[in-house]
Amino acid sequence: MHATAPTPPQHPDDGQADSPAWQALLRARQGGDPAALPPGPLTDLFAPILAPIQAPDGCLVLGRLAQTLDGRIATAGGSSQWIGGPGDLLHTHRLRALCDAVLVGAGTVKHDDPRLTTRDCPGPDPVRIILDTSRTLGTEYRVFAEGGPPTLLVCAEDAAERGLPRDRHGAAEVLRAPRAAIGGLDIATLLPKLAARGLRRIFVEGGGLTVSRFLAAGCLDRLHVTVAPVLLGSGIPAFTLPEAARIADGLRFAWGVHRLGEDVLFDIALHRARPAVCAA
Ligand SMILES: Nc1c(N[C@@H]2O[C@H](COP(=O)(O)O)[C@@H](O)[C@H]2O)[nH]c(=O)[nH]c1=O
């Protein structure tokens, strides 16, 4: 007789959108003591996001991507729904519920016209932040419509107004930040502005360029990368950084591994590390 190997858990919360462990996390988010969370896989995964904020800019920033086994987040044409399975989507909605703000780049709005609200689990909607350096987006996207959660469009100080009001973009408020030398906005300058508005836990949901810019700026505390059992062979890459000459130039880190149904989630403690190839 062979001893039966224990089955690895398929999901930190059995794929249930609601549970006592999830409710305890929501209470901790509302000001409860994160140290009093019940022990368990859901707490292991999410408690670090609710931990006291260490960075002097006042923010805790979590980057996130769902990618194929070959590191693609979308087809070349931008189709990305869905790379991950239902457990991965539930995870995204949980991160929205636990963070003060969800942040995406203009490319994600153009390709997906997302809502960025919390719908797959109980919990509040985050404030939505759209980074659109040159203010190229029109106001027709769903995030800029009346009636949704508060939304900020962040653009460069010198971005042209193109006939729109200087401080409103549809229903969104316009916030301005300096440009970064490497392209995009100066994220290190933006974060204290967000903290000053009470937006301290920032969920950078995508896309690849936006998450990469936060990484290059040394502005990510954690990174959640879902890898789905899919090969695309081409398409939009997850991460884009300056070229590394040697393996030793890559960024190494500690990670925890969680199953999300068929997908695997890597929970990476980056602690604001900056890849050597991005050294200032
Ligand atoms: N492709 C992909 C995700 N993509 C994210 O989901 C957004 C759509 O949000 P909404 O319109 O609010 O449902 C999209 O713009 C992008 O930020 N999320 C995931 O959990 N898994 C996935 O495979």
Tens of pLDDT, residues 163-177: 999 999 999 999 999
- In the numeric block, which tokens belong to residue 209? 């360029």
114 in contact with ligand 1, CB cutoff 6 A: yes
Asked if the structure places residue 43 within a domain, the reply is no
176 shares its domain with 235: no
Asked if the structure places residue 134 within a domain, the reply is yes
Asked if the structure places residue 37 within a domain, the reply is no
Query: Residue 8 — pLDDT band, cuts 50, 70, 90?
Result: low
Q: How far out from the chain centre does Cα 108 lie?
A: 12
Q: How far apart are CA 90 and CA 212, in angstroms?
A: 23
Is the CA virtual torsion 73, 214, 53, 128 positive or negative? negative
| Structural domain range at position 93 | 59-100+208-279
154 shares its domain with 231: no
108 shares its domain with 189: yes
**Is residue 35 over pLDDT 90?**
no
126 shares its domain with 263: no
270 shares its domain with 131: no
137 shares its domain with 269: no
Decide if 34 contacts 47 (C-beta within 8 A): yes
73 shares its domain with 115: no
109 shares its domain with 190: yes
Single residue among 198, 221, 243 that ends a domain in this structure = 198
Asked if the structure places residue 41 within a domain, the reply is no
Residues 82-91 have a mean pLDDT of 96
Measured in residues, the chain has a length of 280
The number of the ligand 1 atom at minimal distance from the alpha carbon of 117 is 12
Asked if the structure places residue 33 within a domain, the reply is no
Query: Residue 7 — pLDDT band, cuts 50, 70, 90?
Result: low
pLDDT of residue 176: 98
275 shares its domain with 136: no
Percent of the chain with pLDDT over 70: 96
Asked if the structure places residue 46 within a domain, the reply is no
Q: How far is the CA of 56 from the centre of ligand 1 (A)?
A: 30
pLDDT of residue 33: 85
Q: How far apart are CA 90 and CA 96, in angstroms?
A: 10
**Is residue 10 over pLDDT 90?**
no
**Is residue 63 over pLDDT 60?**
yes
The number of the ligand 1 atom at minimal distance from the alpha carbon of 108 is 15
Which residues have C-beta within 8 Å of that of residue 260, sequence separation ≥ 6?
11, 12, 84, 85, 87, 88, 90, 91, 226
Asked if the structure places residue 230 within a domain, the reply is yes
Query: Residue 5 — pLDDT band, cuts 50, 70, 90?
Result: low
Q: How far apart are CA 169 and CA 233, in angstroms?
A: 38
Q: What number of H helices and E strands is found in the chain? A: 6, 12
Single residue among 166, 198, 230 that ends a domain in this structure = 198
156 shares its domain with 275: no
Render the burial of 175-214: b for 16+ CB within 10 Å, e for the rest.
bbbebbeeebbbbbebbeebbeeebbbbbbbbbbbbbbbb
Residues 212-235 have a mean pLDDT of 97
Closest CA to 129 of 59, 25, 55: 59
Single residue among 198, 229, 244 that ends a domain in this structure = 198
85 shares its domain with 120: no
- In the numeric block, which tokens belong to residue 104? 């995406």
Main-chain phi, psi angles of 86, to 5 degrees? -60, -35
Residue nearest to atom 11 of ligand 1 (CA): 114
CATH number of the structural domain spanning residue 164: 3.40.430.10
Predicted TM-score (pTM) of this structure? 0.95
113 shares its domain with 189: yes
**How many structural domains does the chain have?**
2
Q: How far apart are CA 111 and CA 129, in angstroms?
A: 16
Query: Residue 180 — pLDDT band, cuts 50, 70, 90?
Result: very high
263 in contact with ligand 1, CB cutoff 6 A: no
151 in contact with ligand 1, CB cutoff 6 A: no
